[in-house]
Amino acid sequence: NFVTGPGRTLGQALIESPEVDGVTFTGSFDVGMKIFRDFAAGRWVRPAILELGGKNPAIVSRHADLERAATGIVRSAFGLQGQKCSACSRVYVEKPVADALRALLVEKTRMISVGDPTLRQHWMGPVINEAAFGRYRKCVENLRQHGAELVGGETLDRGDLANGWFV
C-alpha cells in the first residue's frame, strides 16, 4: 500500500507495527536512518528500502545528442527546484564535448523563469522552506569563495517573490 500522512504519528505507528512486513521510504537521510533503526529493532529482520537522496549523475559521451543531453540535465537538476531524490547533481562528460555541453547548459539555465509556479511562464518556484533557502545561500557563498563561475546564484525576495523562498 502507498500511505501518506504525518511521519511522527502515522509513519511511526507503521514502523512499530508487527503487521508491517517491509517498508520503502523516500525522504531525508535523518528520517530514513530513524526508520532503519526502529525497523531493525523489532523481533525479526524485515526488509527496508530507503531512498535518502542520492548523487545522481548524468554521463555524456562524445556520441551524445548534446541538445537532448543538456535539456535532460537541466530538467533533472532544476525540476521541482532540484528538491527531489532523483535530481541530477553531477555531470560526467567526455572532454571533446565538454565545452559545447557547458555552453548549452549555461544557455538553458539562463532561460529558467523563477516565480509563482502556478503561472505557466514560470518553470521554477520557491525552495521548500527557510532551511533550504539557507543551505542554498551557504552553497552559493562557498562556490563564490572558491572562484566558481555561477549562472544565477541570487536570492529573489522583491515584488511578487517577497513571500517565499525563491532562488
Residues labelled catalytic = 51, 85
Residue 151 CA to residue 109 CA, distance in Å, equals 7
Separation between Cα atoms, residue 43 and residue 18, nearest integer Å: 9
CA distance 56 to 121: 28
**Helical H segments across the chain, by residue range:** 12-16, 29-40, 66-78, 95-110, 130-145
Q: Which residues contact 121 (CB under 8 A, 6 or more apart)?
A: 113, 115
User: Which residue shows C-alpha cell 525576495?
Assistant: 157
Distance CA 70, CA 66 (A): 6
